[in-house]
Structure 1
Amino acid sequence: MSRRSGAPALAAALLLGATACSIVPTSSPTVQITQAPERPAPEFISEPLPPARGATPEDVVRGFIDAAASSVPERPVAKDYLTPEAASTWSDAGGITIISPGFATAASEAGSVVVTADLVGTVDQRGIFTVAGTEPFSYEFPLAEVDGEWRISDPPDGLVILETDFERLYDPVDGYFLDPTLRQLVPDPRYLIGGEAQPTALVERLVQGPSAALAAGVENPLAGAGLARTVTVDDQVATVDLTGLDVDATTPLRELSAQLVWSLTRLDDLTIRSVVVTLDGEPLPLEGVPEEQTTDDWPAFDPDATPLETVGHYLDAGSLRTVEDGAPVPGPAGNGGYGLSSAAVSADARTGELTFLAGVRPEAGQSTLLAGPYGGELAPVLTGRTLSAPTVAATRPEVWVVRDDTEIVRVPAGSRPQAVSAPTLAGLGRAQVIELSPDGVRVAVVVTDVQGVPRLHVGTVVRNEEGGGVAVRDLPQVAPTLSPVVDVAWRSNGELWVLAGDPGEEAPYSLGVDGWGLSQQVTSGLPDQPTSLGAAPGREPLVVAGGRLWRWARGTWVTLVPGREPLAGSAPFYPL
């Protein structure tokens, strides 16, 4: 399943089950497709209508926007709304502008129609979504008379499409790349039209490489390769025939295979059970791997895996406890002697053993970060006027914090603190919350801007493995309309849960890492608005409401231990 399966994918199933183009008609210089899958005739499809005789300028512009919802290649109905000259040069391949359904049109005496709407975002030719800011969409459509009928003479490049139509037509899918250790798959969201060509379109995007925002933080085993022919799917088996790949002892063939298998088997539009990967028609030289590969052959690369037997933790009166029964953890951190206000724990990915603990102890005028072995003695490793709650990732035994609202610091287990270069952070405002993604490639930061409004930013972690330096180069907003933000946690490597809202109206929201799919979650079962949040892949989110802890279970919030009173506590989190 894709990271955001649900209503949009279900709504698109009937309409798009047989379509076969990618996000927009496009080509790649590194992928040479020798044949294209045929588009089967759908059982039922509702296509936009051409312009009616005598249509007003506003009707023509509205009809052109409606025609963007066509699944027919090159969208010929949309061209019917254009003058012959404009139709000969306009292409739907220039990217996509997504606007809200409630757009307005206003005709002018000069023979043009101005369209204004809330701008949701844009999707480029590679299927990469960029969330819009707060500026509205506005475009002036000039029109001319052709044989007594109004037609658009200068349309915008690409498509202007309503958000509801985009959700019906395009599937959110994840293409996976590798973290710098080549051990963890990292999702890179794309938006593709469904149908038989979707697997080919996805592999094309993998070959082309990650999105610009992610590129510096990941590796691409498919770099330099091409597709010898289209990806075919027969009896739930996808065949990917690569070309142009130089194979030697250093070529990461296992990682390449895992990248393709996990990406293709998670497509919602087609059921793909296994993947055959060939190089110029010959099997890849992989020992101990069957010809038909499944995710069971690459379990270590599961992008949503969490350490074995990981349970939630929280703080209560300075004592670190687990959510299973509220019992204190072993060692001094569990007896409350350190007086911790927040904590984070690393686990061994192979055994699930909890190994590294870090916690913040507030003191008069300053805060201290303590670190050490889980269940053992902790020692001071960092001080500051303020320290954020610590955060860890599943890929490295290190903890990150924000010191004094402006400086990101990481502390590797058993090593000295090291500054993380974040040149854009100071200009954004004061950072209160920081959360590493489980794969360690992205970081979410809640920053209070100059207007005093806490907002959500997500950046890519860039590591210099040789020099040891770590940077977060950019921190763009991913939910500009969501504020004020109280807390954030990673439900998966590609999905965030956020607490946001005015005081007394806070609620949990979910959204993709690129900002798509913002959706409010229910608060039923909670006695008050939530104030703190904890989440992890494959685990039930935790919140604090009314000073007590609650867990998410089948669409509602319940007590941690069934049949018992809610436990008092704060700062919930899951070890990684």
Structure 2
Amino acid sequence: MRARRGLAGPARVLVGLLAVLLTGCTTVPTSSAPVEITQVADPPDDIGVEALPPVPGASPEEVVRGFVDAMASTTRNHPVARQFLTTDAAASWSDTDGVTVISADYAPVAVDDGAVSVTAGLVGKVDGQGVFTVGAGQVYSYTFGVVQEDGEWRIADPPDGLVQLEPDFSRTYDAVNAYFLDPTSTRVVPDPRFLVSGESRATALVDRLLAGPSTSLTAGVLNPLDGAELRSNVQVRQQVATVDLTGLPDGAADALTVLCAQLVWSLDQLDDVRAVRVEVDGQPVGVPGVPAVQTVDDWASFDPDAVPAVSVAHYVSGGALRVVTGEPAPGPAGTGEYGLTSAAITADARTNELGTTVGVAGGTTLLVGAYGGALVPVLTAGGFTPPTTAATRPEVWTVRDGTEVIRIPSTGTPQTVNATTLPGLGSARVFQLSPDGVRAAVVVDGADGGQLLVGTVVRAEDQVAVRDLRSVAPQLSQVVDVAWRTASSLVVLAGAQDEGGTAPYEVGVDGWGLSPLSTTGLPGQPTAVGAAPSRPPLVVAGGTLWQRVAGVWTTLVRGQDPLAGQAPTYPL
């Protein structure tokens, strides 16, 4: 599959879409009868590695190993895998109850007459909607009961769903985003999913969109088209996908503009799709100013990873706010008079201007003001996390004294955010909003050093909360910093796995695709990180700033000495 916007890690599976209200669509049928779709998400019959059937006289351990290998097949209904089961088990086994992904270093071991145990590291699980949940470092263990049937050993009690080795899962599944809408109705929000590759993937992707966002994301995004259905399978001809919907709820005409944006951004991730035609009850949807065959260029304003052109890197040096060239930022913040230790800046994509600056002075005072103007103190505390911004709202967030999440609107007073579970998870040392403002990445102190969590920002009327904080990289310990590389991926600084010190990693927001980044070019271990979509990641190493370009860390200004500084940040 070609490179996809906002998705980290190795390529693997599909899904995504639907939601919210805006105006603009004019051609919308008002009613119709739903039409049943058959074989919505079935994979093709011949993708992937051909599974091998059991050989005569195979031992119980060989039968179990063969069954695990055969579950990596993408052939519909896994007929070869069923040959390793007893007649009754083959008839009752369900291969559609999700996927359990285990480490490749496993071995079937006979533990008793008629019992074979499989033990491995649990990489994670994928549910029926293609949502991946990373394993928390626990061990996967299952004991297969095996019996003699017609003189051959066969499995009598297989686990429901598929069990696949991590390399097989990576090979047979593709990862894509199901896109929903942020609460401001201005950009699509990625919801990573995994589905088997194949000819029906466009239908499977739209089907997952219609089913709605993943449980952890539901409260943070909009999905007003809940209940809509596909009238027929998605047809892809000459790289144009035709999506025919039915059963839209009352008032859906106002939501079709966003629906079109979501469908186009989601389906554009597929190799065989370059444009989308949207229909309702067989009639083309008319959106003013948008052609009947739509591409992401027609919905560029909904780009999940859009960053204003004015978003150039800033950092702090000697208490002063500076820009990436080393020049001081305008106004008193750039003179060093405030003694800043960190800062964040909002950016307005419509005017291409920088807006509010929030800085931490001396680590204990929060200052707020217009970019280039005077900053005034608004809060004091024992400590604040480095401030953070999102591209969808003119506000800045921070955490006071490790437990109290604070948001500072550009035209209002600081407000406490409801994050009731945070104090019980540990003291927060880093808190970073995603570019769309729907998620938050948090580093909390734990028994094994810093731990990385990701939660969902939920907005309801005047109430704002951070919910469902969960570990997405349990393999990493001693986490010291995190930044959003895209709307669906993170750059993390954590304990190096092969040696001492700290190293950079990249990981998907769901925990999939954890991979180390090279430290080539760095003068020492990195201690802080800054990132934004379509911008080079920045780190602080040896007290100086470095940017990652073409896989190598270089100085901020080509050909010049590294600049001394800390707390790198991109305005959003």
Match of 1:529 in 2: 525
Match of 2:283 in 1: 282
Change over 3 Å in CA distance of 1:389–1:38 after alignment to 2: closer
SS across alignment from 2:293: coil
Match of 2:297 in 1: 296
Distance in 2 (CA, whole Å) between partners of 1:360 and 1:453 is 24
Distance in 2 (CA, whole Å) between partners of 1:4 and 1:106 is 42
Match of 1:166 in 2: 169
Distance in 1 (CA, whole Å) between partners of 2:530 and 2:367 is 21
Aligned AA for 1:61?
V
Aligned AA for 1:327?
E
Aligned AA for 1:292?
V
2:343 paired with 1:331: no
SS across alignment from 1:108: strand
2:234 paired with 1:231: yes
Match of 2:22 in 1: none
Match of 2:423 in 1: 426
Q: Deviations over 1:322-352 (max 9, x none)?
A: 11x2001100001111110000000002122
Match of 1:497 in 2: 491
Match of 1:64 in 2: 67
Distance in 1 (CA, whole Å) between partners of 2:353 and 2:35 is 44
Range with greater deviation from structure 2 (71-80 or 414-423): 414-423
Distance in 1 (CA, whole Å) between partners of 2:49 and 2:252 is 53
Deviation at 1:35, TM superposition (A): 7.2
Q: Which residue, out of 467, 471, 479, partners 1:473?
A: 467
Question: What CA RMSD, in Å, does the superposition of the two structures yield over aligned residues?
Answer: 2.1
Match of 1:87 in 2: 90
Pairing of 1:108-119 with structure 2 (within 5 A): 108-119=111-122
Q: Which residue, out of 155, 160, 163, partners 1:157?
A: 160
**What is the percentage of aligned positions where both structures have the same residue?**
57
Change over 3 Å in CA distance of 1:379–1:39 after alignment to 2: closer
Match of 2:482 in 1: 488
Aligned AA for 2:135?
A
Match of 2:308 in 1: 307
Deviation at 1:4, TM superposition (A): 7.2
- Alpha-carbon contact 2:48-2:172 (below 8 Å) kept: no
2:119 paired with 1:122: no
Q: Deviations over 1:86-112 (max 9, x none)?
A: 001002101110000001322023310
Q: Gaps (5+ residues) in structure 1?
A: 24-29
Distance in 2 (CA, whole Å) between partners of 1:488 and 1:532 is 8
Match of 2:354 in 1: 354
Change over 3 Å in CA distance of 1:160–1:274 after alignment to 2: same
Deviation at 1:252, TM superposition (A): 1.3
Match of 2:459 in 1: 463
- Alpha-carbon contact 2:538-2:547 (below 8 Å) kept: yes
Match of 2:106 in 1: 103
Match of 2:20 in 1: none
Aligned AA for 2:533?
P
Deviation at 1:246, TM superposition (A): 3.6
Deviation at 1:247, TM superposition (A): 5.4
Distance in 2 (CA, whole Å) between partners of 1:482 and 1:41 is 39
- Alpha-carbon contact 2:43-2:74 (below 8 Å) kept: no
Match of 1:393 in 2: 390
Change over 3 Å in CA distance of 1:396–1:38 after alignment to 2: closer
SS across alignment from 1:416: coil
Deviation at 1:6, TM superposition (A): 8.7
- Alpha-carbon contact 2:40-2:207 (below 8 Å) kept: no
Distance in 2 (CA, whole Å) between partners of 1:38 and 1:69 is 15
Deviation at 1:271, TM superposition (A): 2.6
Deviation at 1:529, TM superposition (A): 0.5
Match of 1:415 in 2: 412
Change over 3 Å in CA distance of 1:208–1:50 after alignment to 2: same
SS across alignment from 2:116: strand
Change over 3 Å in CA distance of 1:39–1:497 after alignment to 2: closer
Distance in 2 (CA, whole Å) between partners of 1:274 and 1:69 is 32
Match of 1:445 in 2: 442
- Alpha-carbon contact 1:458-1:477 (below 8 Å) kept: yes
Q: Gaps (5+ residues) in structure 2?
A: 17-33
Q: How many residues align?
A: 551
Change over 3 Å in CA distance of 1:231–1:508 after alignment to 2: same
Deviation at 1:136, TM superposition (A): 0.4
Change over 3 Å in CA distance of 1:190–1:255 after alignment to 2: same
Pairing of 1:193-204 with structure 2 (within 5 A): 193-204=196-207
Distance in 2 (CA, whole Å) between partners of 1:377 and 1:454 is 35
Deviation at 1:553, TM superposition (A): 0.4
Match of 1:27 in 2: none
Aligned AA for 1:155?
P
Range with greater deviation from structure 2 (234-243 or 504-513): 504-513
Distance in 1 (CA, whole Å) between partners of 2:549 and 2:287 is 42
Aligned AA for 1:441?
V
- Alpha-carbon contact 2:448-2:477 (below 8 Å) kept: no
- Alpha-carbon contact 1:319-1:339 (below 8 Å) kept: yes
Aligned AA for 1:131?
V
Change over 3 Å in CA distance of 1:380–1:504 after alignment to 2: farther
- Alpha-carbon contact 1:3-1:173 (below 8 Å) kept: no
Change over 3 Å in CA distance of 1:530–1:39 after alignment to 2: closer
Deviation at 1:40, TM superposition (A): 6.8
Match of 1:514 in 2: 510
Distance in 1 (CA, whole Å) between partners of 2:266 and 2:213 is 13
Match of 1:26 in 2: none
Change over 3 Å in CA distance of 1:504–1:568 after alignment to 2: farther
Q: Deviations over 1:135-188 (max 9, x none)?
A: 100001011001111111000010000000000000000010001111121000
Q: Deviations over 1:396-431 (max 9, x none)?
A: 111111111111111111311111111111111111
- Alpha-carbon contact 2:43-2:75 (below 8 Å) kept: no
Distance in 1 (CA, whole Å) between partners of 2:162 and 2:41 is 24
- Alpha-carbon contact 2:522-2:553 (below 8 Å) kept: yes
- Alpha-carbon contact 1:129-1:191 (below 8 Å) kept: yes
- Alpha-carbon contact 2:114-2:146 (below 8 Å) kept: yes
Match of 2:181 in 1: 178
Aligned AA for 1:374?
Y
Aligned AA for 1:186?
V
Change over 3 Å in CA distance of 1:422–1:280 after alignment to 2: same
Deviation at 1:31, TM superposition (A): 8.2
Distance in 1 (CA, whole Å) between partners of 2:343 and 2:35 is 47
Q: Deviations over 1:289-342 (max 9, x none)?
A: 21001111111101111012321100000111111x200110000111111000
2:564 paired with 1:568: yes
Distance in 2 (CA, whole Å) between partners of 1:37 and 1:401 is 43
Q: Deviations over 1:40-91 (max 9, x none)?
A: 776x853121111111111111111101110110111110110001001002
Q: Which residue, out of 532, 545, 549, partners 1:549?
A: 545
Change over 3 Å in CA distance of 1:434–1:316 after alignment to 2: same
TM-score of the superposed pair, with normalisation by structure 1: 0.92
SS across alignment from 2:485: strand
2:4 paired with 1:2: yes
* Higher RCO (C-alpha under 8 Å, 6+ residues apart): 2
Distance in 2 (CA, whole Å) between partners of 1:184 and 1:314 is 27
Aligned AA for 2:120?
A
- Alpha-carbon contact 2:84-2:154 (below 8 Å) kept: yes
Q: Deviations over 1:192-246 (max 9, x none)?
A: 1112210100100100000000000000143221000000111111100000014
Deviation at 1:452, TM superposition (A): 5.2
Aligned AA for 2:63?
V
TM-score of the superposed pair, with normalisation by structure 2: 0.93
SS across alignment from 1:72: coil
Distance in 1 (CA, whole Å) between partners of 2:467 and 2:509 is 17
